[in-house]
A = this chain, B = another copy of it.
Amino acid sequence: MSDTLEFYFDFTSPYGYFASLRADALAEDAGRRAVWRPFMLGAVFKETGNAPLADQPLKGAYCRHDWERMAKMMDVPWVLPDPFPIAALAASRAFYWLDDSDSDTAKDFAKATYHAYFSEGRDIREADVLASVAAPLGIDPDQMLLAISEPAVKQRLKDETDKAIERGVCGSPFFIVDGEGFWGSDRLWMVKKWMAGKRNW
């Protein structure tokens, strides 16, 4: 048994955002540490053949309504950003660059980035937006923006995404507990049971 709860998410995923607000507490309540792992959902969609939820007839309308309803039920801030969805390459690369030196700062950056996108509707693809998210956290924006243009950092995100797919990550959010995967922000109850050893098989 490991002491972690792996939390896979894409920065453009509303259900990833909702799960991100609970991931740390969920892990801590079970005596574990949440390990955050952004990945490119677009690469998963290439595997599964899915289109983004918002672009699907019927499901798009349902989900737009559901996101709003979910935010009100959870009592958390919510806006549907424009543009949405996006390819959050820059934010995801920045995360891994930060994570290599300080995983807590990387998490704080991820939370602030989610907040900027889904609470303030800011376009997190923009360098100046990411810079303004990073600066209050004590991160040097210029250094960060320079880093995410480096081939090694770009490759890192690609590798993490490939690894996620190899491990069976089929959507966002996705949790892994001791090798066992759980897809969806509606499955926190099952993640919790699993961490408590209530595996029932």
Contact = CB atoms under 8 A, between A and B. Distances in A.
A58 B62 contact: no
Interface string A2-37: 000000000000000000000000000000000000
A75 B200 contact: yes
A65 B199 CA distance: 13
Interface residues of A, number: 32
Contacts of A57: 47-49
Nearest to A55: B49
A170 B44 contact: no
Most chain B C-beta atoms within 10 Å of own C-beta, residue among A44, A48, A51, A168: A48
Number of copies of chain A assembled together: 2
A51 B56 CA distance: 12
B73 A190 contact: yes
Interface in A170-201: 170-171, 181, 183-184, 186-187, 190, 193, 200-201
Interface string A66-86: 100100110100000000000
Contacts of A59: 48, 50, 170-171
A61 interface: yes
A165 interface: yes
Contacts of A201: 69, 72
Contact of A187 (B65, B171, B186, B200): B186
Contacts of A170: 58-59, 61-62
Interface of A: 44, 47-51, 56-59, 61-62, 65-66, 69, 72-73, 75, 165, 168-171, 181, 183-184, 186-187, 190, 193, 200-201
Given A48-B58, A49-B56, 12 more contacts: A47-B57, A47-B58, A48-B59, A58-B169, A59-B170, A61-B168, A62-B181, A66-B183, A72-B201, A73-B190, A73-B200, A186-B186
